Amino acid sequence: MRLTSGSPDNTHPVTVEKRQSRKVLGATSLAHLFHDGATDLHYVLFALWQQQFGLSMAQTGLLKMLFSGTMSAFQIPAGELGRKYGERRVLMAGTLLLTVALLLYGTSSTLIQLMILIVIGGLGASVQHPLSSSFITHYYSHRHTRIALSTYNFFGDVGKGVIPGTLSACLLIIAWGSALQWIALFGFLVTLGLYLLLPGDSKPAQVEPLAAKETHHDKPQQPAMKLPEPLRRRAFTALCVIGSIDSATRTGTLTFLPFLMASRGASATQIGLALTLIFIGGAFGKLVCGILSTRLGVIKSVAASEIITSAIVLGMAFAPLQVTWLLLIPLGVALNGTSSILYGSVAELSRPQQQTRAFAIFYTASLGCGALMPVIYGMAGDVMGVQQTLMLVALLVLCILPLLIPIRRATTFKGQSHAP
């Protein structure tokens, strides 16, 4: 493999390229840690805002929709902006925008002000997934992409545990607005880290068309499967629908489980701790499932993860609070385990020259559904109660099982091979 242009040492290309790949993985993992931690921080904030503003379940779902909907809507534009102005530059700008939104949350005195800031935060958060995923698939070979993505996703879930956990702990001694100021400081440091670790944006990225940029030999890409186009489309569509249902299950559970726990006597600080335990379980779930998928295969791993998720969510709907605490970490492992497997399949089931666009489409679909469903679940919850809503969430996740059939056909296609 050749070096990217502007490399400091052309005499040892393999060594320099490995060093650059490690820097890319470190920078994108750092960005994932902050962005995912800041995103899931909102689940703790929703519980606080519900008490401060007297929100119903539907209104809480609306706040979630504003953040995730904005985040979803700008996935594809973020990819296009990255190609036009440089992926590092756009990733830094989005991180800075999310940081500023967090910093200003504490100044909100009305629900309208808060909603505006939530939209700004979602806009900043939109850039991370497509651009970071693109960096990794460009700088890692097919043999190492799944492990690299699993590492990247692991750090995202570390952020989901550490950042909401930090806020929950800070609530014991300071107000939530003051705690967010410290988290925003970390966001500024992450932006600086992206500037120092990611490779400088080259001018060709501003003038080359998408196909030319993505087939450029200076960037190693993950090979895609050679499949008949109808089979590829069906498999990729099924993958996007699975990602959407998986995202809806996660957002529905995390948005309304606090309502269930509060109805059974849990305080806001205890709810924050409960969410932190779920996120900690999720960190290990993604790493373990990413490794298991290489041994058991995508189909078996996804099926097992979703069946276990459904069983635990259904059990928590009826379990007393003491038992619920015992199920939190296993729920995190199962709830988040599928995503690392799905991420690794996006590039394989997309066209070789359109992997960046494929990641953007996948994230748009999954985040869009994850944004919309909390509003629907919230409206249902206001009518029939939170327990029945969680039952609905648990049953919907089982719809993933028949959707695995097109993906299985693609992965077992006799003429299947990897495109160069």
Q: Which amino acid is at 405?
A: I
- Rounded-to-integer distance, Cα 105 and Cα 52, Å: 13
Question: Residues 6 or more apart from 397 whose CB is under 8 A from it?
Answer: 245, 246, 249, 306, 309, 310, 313
Angle at 294 between CA 291 and CA 295, to 5 degrees: 95
Task: Give pLDDT < 70 ranges for the chain.
Answer: 1-17, 141-144, 201-228, 286, 340, 343-344, 352-353, 413-420
Closest Cα partner for 356 from 151, 95, 135? 135
- Rounded-to-integer distance, Cα 351 and Cα 232, Å: 9
- Rounded-to-integer distance, Cα 43 and Cα 356, Å: 29
- Rounded-to-integer distance, Cα 317 and Cα 351, Å: 42
Closest Cα partner for 81 from 117, 124, 119, 120? 124
Query: Is the model's pTM score more than 0.85?
Result: no
Task: Tell me if 67 sits within 8 A of 375, measured CB to CB.
Answer: no
The pLDDT value recorded for residue 93 is 93
- Rounded-to-integer distance, Cα 52 and Cα 408, Å: 48
- Rounded-to-integer distance, Cα 378 and Cα 388, Å: 11
Q: What does the block give as tokens for 393?
A: 């969430």
Closest Cα partner for 343 from 160, 159, 76, 145? 145
To which residue do tokens 């068309």 refer? 209
> Domains of the chain by range and CATH?
15-410 (1.20.1250.20)
